[in-house]
Amino acid sequence: MLQNVTAVLLDGVHPFELGVVCEVFGLDRSDAGLPVHDFAVVSAEGPVLSTHAGFTIGNLHGLDRLEEADLIAVPAGADYGRREFPPELLDALRRAVDRGSRVLSVCSGVFVLGAAGLLDGRRCASHWRYAAELSRLHPRAIVEPDVLYVDEGPVVTSAGTAAGIDACLHLLRQEYGPETANAVARRMVVPPHRDGGQAQFIERPLPRDRCDTVGTVLGWMERHLDQEMTVEQLAARAHMSPRTFARRFQQETGTTPYRWLLRQRVLLAQELLETTDETVDSVASRAGFGNAAGLRHHFLRTLGTTPNAYRRTFRGPSHAA
């Protein structure tokens, strides 16, 4: 049973990520018939901790409180990918997993679980900005940079900031069923389950710096995303054979012409969905997908969501219907 929940903090903790855990597990919602948890906030580094926002937090429990916990949550903090963690904290996390308790990380809190060896051989999520560093520090971890959270038995890891809400609601859903998770989500005024993953949020700037020989063709491709184009046609524009062009393209962009073109078309469709009132069919045509079915297919494959769901999530208030 998920009754005893703790959030364990280190110096430099991020207040929002801590607040996520406190909001989901620390509030008494018994007036709505929702479960109440024995919740505590624990310090791993002294009686008073600083936060990333500049204020301090005191009146915290000691590490011995972790020995009773059914769930230990580790919120994000400053520079967690470049610091050492208290050995006694790492030991407590390992003991918790060994006795059948669960551990949860929010955003960069995943580095603490990695230092405890709890990611070895397990899939895990992290904020997309930290995925490469997490893989480098913990090569035995299976980092999933495009998902909101990963549940690997006793270890649950979530991506950046708000993805911690998704992971916490997932735990409620597992423990108490969808009605409880949905009720808590309604109280928090958040969706009980979000479609898609981090791929919707990742910035992918165009690789310009090394495109010495295909840069002109890249510019033409960007300006004509709505047109059909083949490697043979592109190679002719670059005054190369198709084989040489494909090889140079791979060397200078890190991908194939088809994949580069597909990604740019998706990026254009994202921009149009966010900033215009054009129909999905019109967006699909302008972005080179032909029709709404083609756009939906590639959106699902690339971003894990549909064009309409993406528009609902990302369009600004000035474009609200």
Q: Is 260 exposed, middle or buried (0-12, 13-18, 19+ CB in 10 A)?
A: buried
Give per-residue burial for 186-196: e unless 16+ CB within 10 Å, then b: eebebebebbb
Please state the φ and ψ torsions of residue 161, each to the nearest 5 degrees.
Answer: 45, -95
* Complete edge-to-edge strand list for the sheet that includes strand 4-9: 38-43, 4-9, 71-74, 102-106, 155-158, 149-152
- Name the token pair of 296: 């939906």
- Is 107 a known active-site residue? yes
Separation of alpha carbons 273 and 216, rounded Å = 28
- Say if residues 291 and 297 touch (Cβ distance below 8 Å): no
Please state the φ and ψ torsions of residue 72, each to the nearest 5 degrees.
Answer: -115, 120
Q: Which residue is catalytic, options 107, 124, 168, 211?
A: 107
Q: Would you please indicate which residues are annotated as catalytic (active-site) residues?
A: 107
